[in-house]
């Protein structure tokens, strides 16, 4: 048996948790396997973070368009007792009202929208390529229907502010809400864009402008 808090084999996870061995094998062979840090002897993901506070200057080394559009991000809202996360690749990072800000777009039907509305802050987090499978799950499945932590192997981590991220993140932005607006049909100057992205594809987004208060890296 592995030491408590240390990584264990699929067989040990099945023995410890009582989960059917075939289901455990699926998890160990799944697209998210490279994103799993390990398991505790209680059958839960371990927290083994090397996350450290950085400065906003860290973002200078990033192509922020590629960071969001191609690498994707997790938008995570809630507390350690109740939170949800979703994948997004629409948004931006900039400067507004003399503050370092991010712009985030979330459709009201997304489960994470409920958590964002309840809280004063949320995080944007970015991951290495081996976590791509986990982000795919978080972007295509709803937290209403599945336990995303269990399905992805992501390890929840509470930041000093009380906001949530995941230990696998290589970069986390801890953000405070400043402004929100609901998109409407009347707002669209380019009606073709509206027709392409709304209607059957989903409802109009809520737009959030958030201040980037803290930056964390691995």
- Specify the 3-state DSSP secondary structure of 111: helix
Residue 21 in domain = no
Residue 45 in domain = no
Tokens of 139: 């972007």
Residue 71 in domain = yes
Count of CB atoms within 10 A of residue 3's CB?
8
Q: Per-residue pLDDT tens for 106-120?
A: 999 999 999 999 999
Residue 151 in domain = yes
What pLDDT was estimated at residue 154?
94
Total number of domains constituting the chain: 1
Report residue 46's pLDDT band, with 50, 70 and 90 as the boundaries.
very low
How far apart CA 125 and CA 131 sit, in angstroms, is 12
Count of CB atoms within 10 A of residue 145's CB?
8
How far apart CA 157 and CA 159 sit, in angstroms, is 6
What pLDDT was estimated at residue 156?
95
What pLDDT was estimated at residue 49?
52
Domain enclosing residue 172, as ranges: 50-217
Residue 179 in domain = yes
How far apart CA 92 and CA 70 sit, in angstroms, is 12
Paired residues of 212 in beta bridges: 175
Residue 27 in domain = no
pTM metric for this prediction = 0.81
pLDDT: which is higher, 27 or 46: 27
Tokens of 124: 């944007």
How far apart CA 181 and CA 123 sit, in angstroms, is 19
Q: Per-residue pLDDT tens for 121-145?
A: 999 999 999 999 999 999 999 999 9
What pLDDT was estimated at residue 31?
53
Residue 101 in domain = yes
Residue 217 has pLDDT above 90, yes or no: yes
Q: For the domain that residue 75 is a member of, what is the CATH number?
A: 2.30.110.10
What residues contact residue 11 under an 8 Å CB cut-off, 6+ apart? 21, 24
Q: Considering the chain, what percentage of its residues have pLDDT values greater than 90?
A: 75
pLDDT mean across residues, the chain? 84
Residue 9 has pLDDT above 90, yes or no: no
Helices (H), the chain: 10-17, 21-29, 64-69, 111-118, 132-140, 148-152, 191-197
What pLDDT was estimated at residue 218?
86
Residue 32 in domain = no
């Amino acid at each position: 048996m592995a030491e408590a808090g240390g990584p264990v084999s699929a067989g040990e996870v099945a023995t410890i948790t009582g989960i059917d061995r075939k289901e455990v094998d699926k998890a160990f062979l799944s697209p998210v396997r490279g994103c799993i840090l390990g398991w505790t002897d209680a059958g839960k993901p371990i927290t083994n973070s090397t996350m450290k506070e950085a400065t906003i200057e860290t973002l200078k080394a990033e192509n922020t368009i590629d960071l969001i559009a191609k690498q994707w991000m997790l938008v995570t809202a809630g507390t350690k007792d109740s939170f949800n996360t979703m994948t997004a690749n629409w948004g931006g990072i900039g400067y507004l009202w003399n503050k370092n800000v991010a712009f985030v777009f979330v459709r009201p039907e997304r489960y994470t929208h409920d958590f964002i509305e309840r809280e004063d802050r949320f995080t944007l987090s970015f991951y290495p390529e081996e976590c791509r499978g986990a982000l795919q799950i978080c972007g295509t499945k709803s937290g209403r229907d599945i336990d995303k932590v269990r399905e992805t192997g992501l390890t929840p981590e509470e930041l000093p502010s009380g906001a949530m991220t995941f230990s696998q993140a290589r970069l986390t932005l801890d953000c405070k809400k400043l402004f929100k607006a609901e998109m409407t049909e009347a707002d669209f100057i380019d009606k073709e864009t509206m027709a392409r992205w709304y209607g059957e594809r989903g409802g109009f987004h809520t737009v959030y402008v958030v201040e980037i208060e803290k930056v964390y890296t691995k």
